[in-house]
Amino acid sequence: MEAADIGALHTKKLSLWFLITVILVLLLLGTVILALCIGPVGISVGEIVNILFGGEASWSHRTIILEIRLPRVLLGGLVGASLAIAGAGMQGLFRNPMASPYVLGISSGAAFGASLSIVLGFSIVSGLFAVPVMAFIFSFITLVLVYNIAKVNGRVPVDTLLLAGIAIAAFFTALVSFMKYLAGEQLSSIVFWMMGGLWDARWEFFVFVLPMVAIGVVLILVFSRDLNVLMIGEEHAVNLGINVPLARNVILVASSLVTAAAVSVSGVIAFVGLIVPHMMRLFVGPDNRILLPASCLVGAIFMIWTDTLARTIIAPEELPVGIITAILGAPFFLYLLKRRKGVTGW
């Protein structure tokens, strides 16, 4: 390679990133449209476009799309995008391939909050938001607990954070087991909530989640370059002038925020947050400036398709989407993992 090629190499990388982003955005749009077509009542693409953009369509189809399928597809997209970007953020932050959005115990805390509401009927709000709000609040209680336990002399070492997360998760999981023991008739509600699903999707939830996800995703993306340097090592980051505590806290809190938002309306959906970032790392490499947006988009696409399957495969019943994400995702990921050659690390 010649020195002159350095510029060309750089330009090539940027155009590739641009191309990847455009393709994924188009795929996402296509996914949304197709997922809207699929269901007990088949509705054509043309009719979908008419309904979305104010053209001719039957009243019943319009209701099915706008009141049932659209909120579900959009909420699914948000949940998938949130879990995937939070997973990528946590993996980079902890420099650990096992990290997922749930690594700090957020999902266990949320499950406890949800079960308080389901079993004891205890919630600070009533009605529609009783469960989501409790799940969300306990997610944040978990984060604050874990963070403060891990804090030593004003510093928060990531390894301690990880261990504190595991311990707190175990604690809340035990409390959830206790709630299950007490649950009686409500047992199936807790169990289904913890498998994760989007059957309760509705516009109100979408509106509740959207601002939090938007803020969280933007914050994570803003700090993507800092995360690159943090992945090389804390010492390197300091030497390159990064404000390490700030960058770390922003990524931690933003990832937790989007995770808590997703979990509060969909339960504990397994696997997406762990695997989608790894899949994307195999395709686009480790640079967070492309990895984070790509994970976000693919997380949304993956979630919408698996949820479409979940609601149609045994119709009129539906499966918890968490089952499908793992059954389909795990073999596909293992296939990718075996296929790559000559690359060490992760």
Partner 1 sequence: MRLVIQGVCFSYGGSDVLADVTFEASDGEIIGVIGPNGSGKTTLLKCINRALSPRIGTVLIDGRDYSELTRREIAGNIGVVPQNSVVSFPFTVLDIVMMGRTPSMERFERESEKDLEIVKKAMEVTNVVELADRTMDQISGGEKQRVVIARALAQKPKILLLDEPTLHLDVNHQLEILDLIRKLARSEKLTVIIVSHDLNLASRYCEKLILMNAGKIAASGEVTEVLTEKNIESVFKVRAAVSYDRHLGAYTVTPIECCR
Interacting residue with partner 1 among 167, 285, 330, 333 (CB under 8 A): 285
Interacting residue with partner 1 among 124, 286, 331, 337 (CB under 8 A): 286
Residues in Cβ contact with 222 at an 8 Å cutoff, skipping those fewer than 6 apart: 250
Minimum distance of partner 1 from residue 14's CB (angstroms)? 8
User: Residues in contact with partner 1, total (CB under 8 A)?
Assistant: 33
Is residue 151 close enough to count as binding partner 1 by CB under 8 A? no
Candidates 90, 21, 74, 130; CA nearest to 257 is 90
Interacting residue with partner 1 among 62, 95, 151, 202 (CB under 8 A): 95
Closer to partner 1 by CB, 188 or 344: give it: 344
Is residue 54 close enough to count as binding partner 1 by CB under 8 A? no
Gap between the Cα atoms of 305 and 267, Å rounded: 18
Q: Which stretch binds partner 1 (CB under 8 A): 2-10, 19-27, 200-208, 301-309?
A: 2-10
Minimum distance of partner 1 from residue 229's CB (angstroms)? 6
Gap between the Cα atoms of 50 and 57, Å rounded: 6
Minimum distance of partner 1 from residue 291's CB (angstroms)? 10
Candidates 295, 329, 331; CA nearest to 309 is 329
Minimum distance of partner 1 from residue 225's CB (angstroms)? 7
Is residue 155 close enough to count as binding partner 1 by CB under 8 A? no
Closer to partner 1 by CB, 4 or 315: give it: 4
Closer to partner 1 by CB, 7 or 316: give it: 7
Minimum distance of partner 1 from residue 344's CB (angstroms)? 5
Residue spans of alpha helices (H) in the chain: 5-37, 45-52, 59-63, 70-94, 106-120, 130-150, 158-183, 187-195, 203-222, 224-232, 234-239, 244-266, 272-284, 288-312, 321-339
Binding mask 220-249 for partner 1 (x = CB under 8 A): --x--x--xx-xxx-xx-xxxxxx------
Minimum distance of partner 1 from residue 238's CB (angstroms)? 5
Gap between the Cα atoms of 255 and 85, Å rounded: 7
Gap between the Cα atoms of 141 and 188, Å rounded: 25
Is residue 337 close enough to count as binding partner 1 by CB under 8 A? no
Closer to partner 1 by CB, 287 or 318: give it: 287
- What is the CA 254 to chain-centroid distance, rounded? 12
Which is it for the CA torsion 295, 297, 300, 303, positive or negative? negative
Minimum distance of partner 1 from residue 92's CB (angstroms)? 9
Gap between the Cα atoms of 240 and 74, Å rounded: 40
Closer to partner 1 by CB, 120 or 246: give it: 246
Q: Which 14-43 positions form the footprint of partner 1 (CB under 8 A)?
A: 14
User: Residue 152, SS3?
Assistant: strand
Gap between the Cα atoms of 295 and 281, Å rounded: 9
Closer to partner 1 by CB, 50 or 224: give it: 224
Gap between the Cα atoms of 17 and 228, Å rounded: 16
Candidates 116, 119, 165; CA nearest to 138 is 116
Q: Which 287-306 positions form the footprint of partner 1 (CB under 8 A)?
A: 287
Closer to partner 1 by CB, 160 or 312: give it: 160
Structure tokens at 120: 């004891």
Interacting residue with partner 1 among 10, 46, 155, 170 (CB under 8 A): 10
Interacting residues with partner 1 (CB under 8 A): 1-3, 5-7, 9-10, 14, 95, 153, 222, 225, 228-229, 231-233, 235-236, 238-243, 285-287, 343-346
